[in-house]
């Protein structure tokens, strides 16, 4: 085989493999049922045999995507996780995300690595604050959104009211793909709008296995469901009259959102959602580098680190860098270039991840997520590549609003303390800030929300054996500054300049925004730049 034939075969292989991949995230407000839905999707794709149920219930299993002990104890998702499984001829990379606002920075990083999102709504609450924030990020990044109205087996709002809220509050044209028979709390089944088929559901004990589905002809459904069937038909006629039909191009352009109804806990309507993801979510597309040039999907291998996580495996206590493959074919053992340093990096121990479980990964294609254990020097936002150089735009940091000084309780554990703090900073669990005045033994930890500090305390004790004391600092606002601005900031009450350990950025922190504005008025030329999160200013 000639070199030309080999290259043609490689390109065809990459294009075909990328075309069968869908990489997506589930986003929602806390308690909308996101982790339960994640588990239900894996269940319906036959990736697991039993679904985990609601957190914190005695005798129930935790969900596969919530692998951290603190997540299982608290019943919330604290860190994102990756679930990779096949559904028919499609390979799905599902990135589960934390719903709690205190961990939204982790969610934003995940959204830099996906091609689509499922926006999960609670049928009783509709659009909530955190959902709106996350949708804004999807809009900014051009990520198309499928909407799943969850918990239809519990009392909630009218379906037409929910559709109207989506259109009025976020400007997306809702296009229902199915429609519920029975009001929220009296869920009978779902009508598929395209075919008119009616599916009735019956839950299994505890919702641990797939729901039993029964397809009924319209005549029998009308006879058995009575008024609920006729109400659903009237609502469907109204939807058809106003033209709420799906336009796939409008969906991909971020103008329209397909809407599905269901209930994740008893596994109602989950298969329909999987089918929608397979049919509608875009396959990996060319990505644009920081220089504005596109890297084609079938170009040489490249990828971007979107997450670094330690403590996933107690047996190894290693550090795993998650890399989204952006172009080309990855082969385990290949040597890649770490773009920020130009140094070679060997990928001998590449892995694929399902929650906390891992297995060796030999080959990966665009859309896949590679886990590289103990890859020295890899941090969030870094690009790796072969052959033709490329650097993808960095993943911005959030503006922290909470600040604590960390000190080790036992000075004999100082080495473990430094290692643990450095590790958590490299992961982005918190931002680690230092100064000559405070020294290495008293770094400042900066966070978006206070729960991040609880995670730090838990992990420092459990993973690194170095319990810490945290002391609150009265700062609420941070700005990026520079050396030229230090004189104007030095010695001012309610102001401190610290260096971010991860990248050397100078951050000026202020007791409040009034102090910040006062200094800006006094020194018009001073550099005090807001931090950006996914292109959205703080």
Provide the annotated binding site for GTP: 96-100
Bridge partners of 91?
21, 86
List, as residue ranges, the binding site. Answer: 96-100
* Distance (Å) of CA 241 to CA 178, 234, 235, 237, 247: 16, 11, 10, 6, 16
Facing residues of 337 across strands? 344, 385
Q: What is the DSSP string of 230-257?
A: HHHHHHHHHHHHTT----HHHHHTTSEE
Cα–Cα nearest to 356, from 103, 107, 110, 64:
64
Look at residue 505 and give its three-state secondary structure: coil
Closest CA to 526 of 474, 490, 500: 490
| Long-range contacts of 51-55, Cβ-Cβ distance < 8 Å, separation of 24 or more | 51/207, 51/208, 51/209, 51/267, 53/206, 53/207, 53/208, 53/265, 54/265
The Cα–Cα gap between 511 and 40 comes to 45
Contacts of 514 (CB under 8 A, 6+ apart): none
CB-based contacts of 275, cutoff 8 Å, min separation 6: none
Stretch (H or E) spanning 23: strand 21-27
């Amino acid at each position: 085989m000639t070199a030309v034939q080999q290259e043609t075969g490689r390109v065809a292989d990459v294009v075909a493999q990328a075309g069968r991949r869908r990489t997506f995230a589930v986003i929602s407000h806390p308690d909308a049922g996101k982790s339960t839905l994640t588990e239900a999707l894996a269940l319906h794709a036959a990736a697991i045999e039993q679904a985990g149920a609601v957190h914190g219930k005695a005798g129930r299993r935790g969900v596969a995507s919530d692998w951290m002990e603190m997540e299982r104890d608290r019943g919330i998702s604290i860190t994102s996780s990756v679930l990779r499984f096949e559904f028919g001829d499609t390979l799905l990379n599902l990135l589960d995300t934390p719903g709690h606002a205190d961990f939204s920075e982790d969610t934003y990083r995940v959204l830099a690595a996906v091609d689509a999102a499922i926006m999960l709504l609670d049928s009783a609450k509709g659009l909530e604050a955190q959902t709106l924030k996350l949708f804004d990020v999807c809009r900014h990044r051009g990520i198309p959104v499928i909407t799943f109205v969850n918990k239809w087996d519990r009392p909630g709002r009218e379906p037409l009211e929910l559709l109207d809220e989506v259109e009025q509050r976020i400007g997306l044209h809702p296009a229902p793909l199915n429609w519920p028979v029975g009001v929220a709390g009296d869920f009978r089944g779902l009508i598929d709008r395209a075919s008119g088929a009616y599916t009735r559901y019956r839950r299994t004990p505890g919702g641990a296995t797939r729901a039993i589905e029964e397809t009924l002809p319209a005549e029998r459904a009308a006879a058995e469901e009575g008024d609920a069937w006729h109400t659903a038909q009237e609502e469907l006629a109204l939807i058809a009259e106003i033209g709420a039909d799906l336009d796939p191009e409008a969906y991909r352009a971020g103008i329209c959102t397909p809407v599905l109804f269901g209930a994740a806990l008893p596994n109602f309507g989950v298969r329909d959602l999987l089918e929608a993801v397979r049919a509608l979510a875009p396959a990996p597309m060319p990505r644009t580098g920081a220089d504005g040039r596109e890297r084609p999907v079938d170009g040489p291998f490249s990828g971007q680190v979107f997450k670094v996580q330690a403590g996933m495996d107690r047996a190894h206590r290693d550090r795993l860098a998650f890399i989204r493959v952006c172009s080309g074919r990855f082969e385990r053992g290949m040597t890649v270039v770490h773009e920020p340093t130009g140094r070679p990096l060997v990928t001998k121990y590449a892995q694929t991840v399902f929650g906390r479980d891992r297995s060796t990964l030999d080959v990966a294609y665009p859309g896949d997520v590679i886990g590289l254990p103990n890859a020295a020097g890899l941090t969030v936002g870094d690009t790796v590549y072969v052959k033709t150089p490329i650097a993808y735009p960095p993943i911005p940091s959030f503006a922290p609003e909470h600040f604590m000084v960390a000190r080790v309780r036992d000075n004999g554990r100082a080495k473990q303390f430094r290692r643990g703090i450095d590790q958590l900073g490299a992961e982005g669990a918190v931002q680690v800030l230092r100064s000559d005045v405070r020294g290495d033994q008293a770094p400042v930890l900066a966070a978006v929300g206070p729960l991040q500090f609880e995670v730090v305390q838990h992990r420092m004790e459990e993973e690194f054996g170095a319990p810490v004391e945290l002391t609150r600092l009265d700062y609420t606002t941070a700005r990026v500054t520079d050396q030229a601005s230090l004189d104007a900031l030095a010695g001012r009450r309610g102001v401190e300049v610290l260096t971010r350990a991860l990248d050397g950025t100078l951050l000026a922190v202020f007791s409040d925004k009034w102090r910040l504005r006062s200094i800006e008025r006094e020194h018009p030329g001073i550099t005090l730049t807001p931090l950006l999160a996914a292109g959205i200013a703080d």
